[in-house]
Amino acid sequence: LRLYEMFLGPLEQSKPWDTNGIDGVHRFLKKFWGLFFKGEEFCVSEENPTAEELKTLHKTIKKITWDIENFSFNTSVSAFMICVNELSAMKCNKKEILSALVVLLASYAPHVCEELWSLLGNKTSVFDASFPICNEEFLKETAVKYPISFNGKVRFTLEMPADLNKTEIEEMALANEQTIKQLDGKSPKKIIVVPGKIVNIVF
């Protein structure tokens, strides 16, 4: 009920009361709970998180921190839902990720978070834990998907490391099999590279 009230809309606006909406947040809490369990068994791993899992967590920390400071609680609930969906898709059950998520969600859903905090092996209240801090390093993109255009028309996308310079981007694009096929033996007259954005080959 607490989570549902926060999800209704901006604090300062009047909102329609519809108890059907409680089903949505209830499904979310069940999905959140499911991250910690395999069937009936509590199953949390001590493994180190992957880069993608850390990115999802720290993106959520950044969003929730901003939302709390700006009293935008309804958008926080949406961010939690996105986070749990992403972690579920990754089948993430890493303790480092889930512990931080429990602390983040605690002020929104205190009862379920207190229970999970205890199951994670903590002896004190979840509200005694330090609030997670966003590490921007985990949010940096390691790869960029470049639309590869020929005479201004996008033909395919090519994923490349984010730290490449213009020359390296150009070389990778030209060496690609799909580029060779598109050029069909013709030599490019001009290659326009906008790092992080697009590659346009004119022939």
Which long-range contacts does 70-75 make (Cβ < 8 Å, 24+ apart)?
71/11, 72/10, 73/6, 73/7, 73/11, 73/108, 74/6, 74/7, 74/8, 74/9, 74/10
Residues of the chain under the 50 pLDDT cut: none
What's the CA angle centered on 127, arms 121 and 137, to 5 degrees? 85
pLDDT at position 161, please?
87
Query: How much is the pLDDT for 13?
Result: 82
Q: How far apart are CA 129 and CA 133, in angstroms?
A: 12
Per the DSSP assignment, residues forming a β-bridge with 38 are: 41
Of 154, 149, 132, 138, residue with least CA distance to 64: 132
pTM of structure = 0.73
Neighbours of 120 (CB within 10 A): 15
Contacts of 149 (CB under 8 A, 6+ apart): 155, 198, 199, 200, 201
Residue of 57, 172, 51, 48 whose CA lies nearest to 105: 57
Label residue 121 left, alpha or beta by phi (over 0 means left) and psi (-120 to 50 means alpha). Answer: left
Contact indicator for 201, 179 with CB cutoff of 8 Å: yes
Q: For residue 181, give every residue at least 6 positions away whose Cβ sits within 8 Å of its Cβ, in sequence order, or none.
A: none
Determine contact, residues 53/87, Cβ cutoff 8 Å.
yes
Rounded Cα distance, 87 and 182, in Å: 39
Q: How far is CA 107 from CA 20, 73, 100, 132, 160, in A?
A: 23, 10, 13, 13, 40
